[in-house]
């Protein structure tokens, strides 16, 4: 009898493997950023038909532009970090920060805004949380985080956050004056093309400053969990009805000649179909 493969674990990789993780501060070095912009975009564009985003104006017009931003999204698969980097650079246009487990496997990521987190113990993880609180101070900075803390199955419910996001937001607001929290529903789906698409929907910014940062972190976490689950469910509901209106393309593949001809023929056929009486 074939054994069932276990795809997901509730134990973080750094705790599971218990390897020493060297801490590296995040930098944004121009050459490595230039290189990463091209390599990580090429990886994404070779595997996906399109990357789209909806409600980007919520970030552009309704956040406080004097504060840095924390962008939080679900963590479903290996592509999430690459999608996050591309969205920060191409849609949100922020100087990126990302927290990566087992970054000793990818030390060069420190040159493009990443820093490690070791979840082998609470004390080790706190080093990274305190670091980003100190570092996240400039308005052009964006910190991408997966508040679930671990990879979960696609569209897993209920959505449950660890309290790290609330800790960072509260302490950045106290230390630097304020921060924007930007919820982002992300999904990977096949629509009408032969490759999947990645679609992201921006939720309403939550602005934390010195006037409203003295919250209970557990209660605040429960609140943003529910709001985030509602945003993700709204995105799924529109997909189930075949609606993708309001999404703008970050990129879209050029179709090969045979697919272009196929689309033209379909369009002609649909134009010649009589409307039902």
What is the per-residue pLDDT across 51-107, written as a single tens digit (0 to 9) for each? 999 999 999 999 999 999 999 999 999 999 999 999 999 999 999 999 999 888 889
Q: Which residue has the tokens 């564009």?
A: 45
For 25-53, what is the mean pLDDT? 96
40 φψ region: left (φ > 0), alpha (ψ -120 to 50), beta (else): alpha
Please report the pLDDT score of residue 265 as a whole number.
Answer: 65
> Pick the residue with more confidence: 263 or 149?
149
| Average pLDDT, integer, range 190-212 | 95
Which residues have CB under 8 Å from 171's CB, separation 6+?
133
User: Residue 179 CB: number of other CB atoms within 10 A?
Assistant: 30
Residue 181: what pLDDT? 98
233/208 Cα distance (integer angstroms): 25
The set of residues, in sequence order, having a beta carbon less than 8 Å from that of 89 and lying 6+ positions away, is: 37, 96
Provide the pairing of β-strand 197-202 with 178-189. Answer: antiparallel
Helix (H) / strand (E) containing 200:
strand 197-202
DSSP 92: I
Mean pLDDT on 176-205: 96
Q: Per CATH, which fold does 13-271 belong to?
A: Glycerol-3-phosphate (1)-acyltransferase (3.40.1130)
- The backbone region for 177, taken as left when phi is positive above 0, alpha when psi lies in -120 to 50, beta otherwise, is left
Written as six digits, the tokens of 168 are: 């960072």
> Backbone dihedral region of 93: left (phi > 0), alpha (psi from -120 to 50 degrees) or beta?
left
Look at 70-74, 96-100, 167-171, 239-243 and tell me which has the smallest mean pLDDT: 239-243
More confident call, 225 vs 239? 225
**In the predicted structure, residue 211 carries a pLDDT above the cut 90:** yes
Q: What is the pTM of this model?
A: 0.90
Q: Which residue matches tokens 């995040």?
A: 26
Per DSSP, the residues of 203-223 read ---EEEETTT----HHHHHHH
Q: If pLDDT is split at 50, 70 and 90, which confidence band does 261 have?
A: low
């Amino acid at each position: 009898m074939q054994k069932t493969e276990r795809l997901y674990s509730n134990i973080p990789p750094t705790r599971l493997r218990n390897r020493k993780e060297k801490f590296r501060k995040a930098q944004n070095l121009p050459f490595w950023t230039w290189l990463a912009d091209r390599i990580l975009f090429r990886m994404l564009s070779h595997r996906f038909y399109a990357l789209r985003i909806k409600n980007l104006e919520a970030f552009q017009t309704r956040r406080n532009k004097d504060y840095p931003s924390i962008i939080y999204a679900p963590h479903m698969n290996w592509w999430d970090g690459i999608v996050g980097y591309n969205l920060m650079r191409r849609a949100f246009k922020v100087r990126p920060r990302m927290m990566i487990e087992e970054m000793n496997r990818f030390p060069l990521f420190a040159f493009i805004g990443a820093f490690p987190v070791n979840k082998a113990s609470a004390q080790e993880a706190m080093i990274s949380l305190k670091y980003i609180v100190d570092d996240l101070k400039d308005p052009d900075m964006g910190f991408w985080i997966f508040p679930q803390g671990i990879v979960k199955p696609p569209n897993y419910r209920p959505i449950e956050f660890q309290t790290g996001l609330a800790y960072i937001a509260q302490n950045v607001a106290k230390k630097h004056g304020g921060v924007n929290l930007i919820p982002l529903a992300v999904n990977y789906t096949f629509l009408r093309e032969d490759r999947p698409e990645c679609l992201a929907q921006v939720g309403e910014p939550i602005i934390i400053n010195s006037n409203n940062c003295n919250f209970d972190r557990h209660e605040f976490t429960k609140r943003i969990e529910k709001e985030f689950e509602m945003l993700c469910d709204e995105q799924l509901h529109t997909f189930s009805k075949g609606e993708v209106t309001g999404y703008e393309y970050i990129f879209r593949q050029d179709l090969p000649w045979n697919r272009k001809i196929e689309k033209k023929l379909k369009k002609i056929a649909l134009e010649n179909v009589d409307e039902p009486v």
